[in-house]
Amino acid sequence: MSDQERKEGGIVFKGRTEAIYKVIVIGDPAVGKTSLLTKFAKNKFEEKYLPTVGINILKQSIELEEENATINLMFWDVAGQPQFYMLHRPYFNGADGVILVFDMTRSSTFSNVNNWYNSCVKYGLSGVPRIIIGNKVDLKDERKIILPMADHLSDKLNAPYFETSALTGETVKEVFQKIAELVYKYKENY
């Protein structure tokens, strides 16, 4: 085992790399963080909104065929309610990637992506890979955030932007595949 493999915690089996990384999923309450994770992991959508209390942790394996690697991502679904802000330090600590989520039908959740990103910077995560998700793209008639606005934020935060629907599953698999690739490449070059 090379020093690089030991350093990153990756284990090599017959030339295949296997690694575990922590990705935090953050954003305002009711933007669809838990729904996106549930759609990705279980291909289910829960109609009834149940706010996350503190944190939910979900482990999911993602195959990176081009890299000959299996990446196990531990998704930390962080509650968006202000009463849980005091818990952010331990939740953010040691994250290898960040998914910032907003609701395309609520402008305030889009504006607050900057605040969530600033929390990442505050806790030392400014250099980790991140993506931005505009969720609820299926609600076309209620859409408040237009593509140029999202593209501007994407450029500003140096984060790829995706539009998803936890209800229909649109672009959900691609988003999680992308964060796995970004985290893997970042950790390999760390």
Tokens matching residue 42: 């279980």
Report pLDDT for 99. 97
Q: In the beta sheet, which residues pair with residue 48?
A: none
Q: Give the residue among 60, 63, 55, 20 at the shortest CA–CA distance from 34.
A: 55
d(C-alpha 87, C-alpha 14), whole Å: 40
Please indicate whether residue 77 or residue 56 has the higher confidence score (pLDDT): 77
d(C-alpha 121, C-alpha 119), whole Å: 5
pTM of the entire predicted model: 0.87
CATH 3.40.50.300 fits 24-59+77-188, yes or no: yes
What is the tens place of the pLDDT at every residue in 151-184? 999 999 999 999 999 999 999 999 999 999 999 9
- Long-range CB contact pairs, 8-17, < 8 A, 24+: 8/187, 8/188, 8/190, 10/187, 15/68, 16/68, 16/69, 16/70, 17/67, 17/68, 17/69, 17/70
Which 3 state secondary structure label does DSSP give 26? strand
Query: What residues does each domain of the chain span?
Result: 24-59+77-188
Per-residue pLDDT at 91 exceeds 90: no
- The angle formed by the CA atoms of residues 122, 9 and 3, to the nearest 5 degrees, is 110
> What is the number of alpha carbons within 13 Å of residue 48 lying toward its C-beta?
1
